[in-house]
Every structure is written in C-alpha cells, then in structure tokens.
Amino acid sequence: MSAIMQIYTRDGDDGTTGLLYGGRVRKDTDPIEVNGAVDEAQAMLGLARAHGLEDPELDAMLTEIERDLYCLMAEVATAPENRHKLKPGISLITPEMTADLERRIDALSERVEMPTEFVIPGQNLVSASLDVARTVIRRAERIAVGYDLDGSQVVAYLNRLSDLVWTMARWAEGDDHVLAKRRKA
C-alpha cells in the first residue's frame, strides 16, 4: 500500500505562502494576488474546455494556454533576487510566447466576423466561460501592472491573452464553430 500524500502543510496558517526558489510572502501581496487571479482564469478556461469537448481544436488551444499559465505563475511567484534561475518558456514568459498569442488572434479573426458593437455574453456555455475567463485575466493584468516585474513579459502576455480569449469566445459563437452549428441544428 502506498503512503498517502498529505495535501496540507500548515505552513500558510500564518498568512504567508512560499515562493519558487525560496522565500515567503504574505498571501495578500501583489504576486500572490496575480497568481490567484490567473489560477481562477485557468479554472475558467478548463471549464470552457469541458463544455467544448466536441471540438479538438478548441481543446488543444486551451490546453496549451493553460500550460503557459503555469509558466507565468512560476515567474510571478519568484522573488526578484531569484529571477536569474527562471527558464524561458518553462518558468519565464518570453516575447515569443506573447507573439504567438498575437498570431492566434489574427488566425481566429480571419475565421469569424468580429462584432462592431458591445457583446452580450452567454451565447453558449463555451463562449460564456471564455468571457468570464477574460474578465479574470484582465483583473490579473491590472494587479500585475502594480507589481514590479522589471523586464518581464507578464503584463504584455496577460494583455494579449485577454484579447485572444475574447476572440476565442466570439469564434465559439460563430457559424464555423462546432458548438454553434450544433446549437442551430
């Protein structure tokens, strides 16, 4: 019989949490607030994935984004004096990762007519989940702006990611998307 892994450590009972590569900070500091919002967004992206299981393209895109968010959270949860230990694309957001989001936005924008007016969320469960994820990503971005991440791509990545998730929500509502087709049938 294998040993049971203990989930709780009691280390955070004093209101602090551990950082990657060492150190502890209060749970209400900006980096932890950023990561909390990113964690919420990641869960909402997972919900969108669960609602869109019939669409392998959507699943693949969201899975890759969710993995990138682990990288972003690792970067944010690293004390400035340990940033030199971060690995590009694994624990450090790179300019290429941000540029990749732009390419995805452009590719999806070519496939669906973008609205010219305000959007009322809720056309289907996937687009609604994506719209909630987008708002949480925007919150993470607002918090990250106040957190000094000198030379980091975190704010740019979150800004572009919210644009991509908005575009994905519109795509999920569009005629070329499997869920929209099923809804109209």
Q: How far is CA 78 from CA 18, 32, 141, 148, 151, in A?
A: 9, 10, 17, 12, 14
Question: Model-level pTM?
Answer: 0.89
**CATH architecture designation of domain 27-184:** Up-down Bundle (1.20)
Contact 154, 75 (CB under 8 A): yes
> Using one digit for the tens of pLDDT, what is the confidence trace for 58-78?
999 999 999 999 999 999 999
Q: What is the mean pLDDT of the chain?
A: 90
Render pLDDT for 76-87 as a digit per residue (tens, 0 to 9): 999 999 999 999
User: What pLDDT, in 10s, does the model give residues 125-171?
Assistant: 999 999 999 999 999 999 999 887 888 999 999 999 999 999 999 99
- The pLDDT score that the predictor gives to residue 180 is 47
**Which two structure tokens, joined as six digits, stand for 137?**
């990503």
pLDDT for residue 178 is more than 70: no
Q: Where residue 1 falls among pLDDT bands split at 50, 70, 90?
A: low
Residues 126 and 179 sit within 8 Å (Cβ to Cβ): yes
Summarised one tens digit per residue, pLDDT across range 16-42 is: 999 999 999 999 999 999 999 999 999
Give the lowest-confidence range in 7-11, 18-22, 109-113: 7-11
Q: Where are the domains of the chain?
A: 27-184
